[in-house]
């Protein structure tokens, strides 16, 4: 992939090899492979490298860029906003998202771990300031909030959509029961309904997406823009010989990953995928990403990267997706089964 001068690319490209899927039952189309900023922005990527990575993703046909208020304490939104301004892409050419719930104001009452009306109305304004934009395409409730009446949250999120500060709203790691409740409240009061989830999904983490959400998908056509498709890097196979110095598990604030990345049993399961990847002529990361796209209820697979070469490699998964027949998919699932 030849990026040339980053500033020369006027907009993300429409790649004929990229599949653009509808976001749930909406008319919005998102690239099946997308780019997110969790962990990497600010901790591993400065403004210049973030710009280069986003340019590489756009060159590959990515039109979906994901963020969150809590990522790097708001710094991630600032970096992505700066990159988008530098790239000069037309606003209509990409889908920009962010998420709210955790808050970034310490122990301030009403400003953390909540989805109350006061927080939501102020959080969206602060996120837009950091992103340097007038609206986001999708605003997610980053977690559910049992301390706030669900009706209050639905009314507030619907009002944010009506105001034009977000075009759609969604959920992240909500239970199927909570999602159904939000949709029913919205329908009862003629409000804007949530349209998509954002939950963890990969070869090692399948139950919630495939089982719990099955009825939600069938009844409402609910979308899902899944995160951690590589199980925080475990499915790349790079932790086979320990924790690489440049990996996220080596970061000071992500020591909680180290235990899982050195789990001998998990690594042994993942290594069973290596012969399959070798046979198909792809990397283990590409194999795992391609597997995620095969779920028809997944609208987009959010990828992350700490260097441009990783972005390029991730989006070369587009060449691997056609190789994953039903037989190969079943072989992979059997290989990593408990």
For the segment 47-63, the average pLDDT, to the nearest whole number, is: 95
User: Residues in the chain, how many?
Assistant: 338
φ, ψ at 198 (rounded to 5°): -140, 100
Q: What is the Cα–Cα distance from 310 to 178, expressed in whole angstroms?
A: 36
The stretches of 132-254 forming alpha helices (DSSP H) are 150-163, 176-188, 207, 214-220
Characterize 233-255 residue by residue with b for buried, 16 or more Cβ atoms within 10 angstroms of its Cβ, and e for exposed: bbbbbbbeeebeeebbbebeeee
Determine the pLDDT at residue 328.
98
Environment class of 147 (CB within 10 Å of its CB; exposed 0-12, middle 13-18, buried 19+): exposed
Is residue 71 flagged as an active site residue? yes
Q: Tokens 């301030």 — which residue?
A: 108
Sign of torsion over alpha carbons 227, 231, 235, 241: positive
Closest CA to 62 of 24, 18, 29, 21: 18
Any idea what DSSP says for residue 97? E
What is the per-residue pLDDT across 109-157, written as a single tens digit (0 to 9) for each? Answer: 999 999 999 999 999 999 999 999 999 999 999 999 999 999 999 999 9
**Averaged confidence pLDDT in the chain:** 92
What is the per-residue pLDDT across 62-117, written as a single tens digit (0 to 9) for each? Answer: 999 999 999 999 999 999 999 999 999 999 999 999 999 999 988 889 999 999 99
Determine the pLDDT at residue 161.
99
Q: What is the Cα–Cα distance from 259 to 246, expressed in whole angstroms?
A: 17
What is the per-residue pLDDT across 268-325, written as a single tens digit (0 to 9) for each? Answer: 999 999 999 999 999 999 999 999 999 999 999 999 998 999 999 999 999 999 999 9
Any idea what DSSP says for residue 232? G
Determine the pLDDT at residue 43.
79
Q: Which residue out of 20, 71, 168, 201 is catalytically annotated? A: 71
* pLDDT of 243 above 70: no
Tokens representing 163? 């105001």
Q: What is the Cα–Cα distance from 301 to 33, expressed in whole angstroms?
A: 5
* pLDDT of 254 above 60: no
Determine the pLDDT at residue 40.
80
Determine the pLDDT at residue 256.
47
Residue 276 vs residues 66, 205, 260, 327: alpha-carbon distances, Å: 30, 20, 23, 12
Q: What percent of the chain has pLDDT over 90?
A: 83
Determine the pLDDT at residue 229.
98
6-232+290-324 homologous superfamily? NADP-dependent oxidoreductase domain (3.20.20.100)
Closest CA to 63 of 8, 22, 2: 22
What is the per-residue pLDDT across 166-204, written as a single tens digit (0 to 9) for each? Answer: 999 999 999 999 999 999 999 999 999 999 999 999 999
Q: What is the Cα–Cα distance from 130 to 123, expressed in whole angstroms?
A: 11
Query: pTM of this prediction?
Result: 0.92
């Amino acid at each position: 992939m030849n990026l040339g001068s980053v500033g020369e690319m006027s907009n993300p490209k429409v790649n004929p090899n990229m599949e653009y899927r509808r976001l749930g039952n909406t008319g919005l189309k998102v690239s099946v492979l997308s780019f997110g900023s969790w962990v990497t922005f600010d901790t591993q990527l400065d403004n210049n490298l973030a710009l280069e990575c986003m340019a590489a993703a756009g060159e590959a046909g990515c039109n979906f860029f994901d963020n969150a208020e809590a990522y790097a304490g708001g710094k991630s939104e600032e970096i992505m906003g700066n990159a988008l301004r530098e790239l000069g892409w037309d606003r209509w050419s990409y889908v920009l998202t962010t998420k709210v719930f955790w808050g970034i104001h310490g122990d301030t009452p009403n400003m953390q771990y909540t989805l109350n009306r006061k927080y939501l109305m102020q959080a969206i304004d602060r996120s837009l300031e950091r992103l340097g934009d007038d609206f986001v395409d999708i605003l997610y409730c980053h977690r559910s909030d049992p301390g706030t009446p669900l009706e209050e949250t639905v009314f507030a999120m619907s009002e944010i959509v009506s105001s034009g500060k977000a075009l759609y709203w969604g959920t992240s790691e909500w239970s199927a029961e909570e999602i159904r409740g939000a949709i029913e409240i919205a329908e009862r009061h003629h409000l804007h309904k949530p349209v998509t989830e954002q939950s963890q999904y990969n070869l090692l983490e399948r139950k919630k997406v495939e089982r719990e959400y099955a009825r939600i998908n069938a009844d409402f056509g609910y979308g899902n823009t899944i995160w951690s498709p590589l199980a925080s890097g475990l499915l790349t196979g790079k932790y086979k010989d320990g924790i690489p110095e440049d990996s996220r598990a080596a970061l000071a604030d992500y020591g909680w990953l180290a235990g899982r990345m050195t789990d001998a049993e998990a690594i042994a399961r993942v290594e069973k995928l290596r012969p399959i990847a070798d046979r198909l002529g792809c990397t283990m990361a590409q194999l795992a990403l391609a597997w995620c796209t095969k779920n028809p209820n997944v609208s987009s697979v959010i990828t992350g990267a700490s260097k441009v070469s990783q972005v390029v490699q991730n989006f070369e998964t587009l060449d691997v997706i056609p190789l994953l027949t039903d037989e190969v998919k079943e072989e992979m699932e059997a290989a990593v089964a408990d």
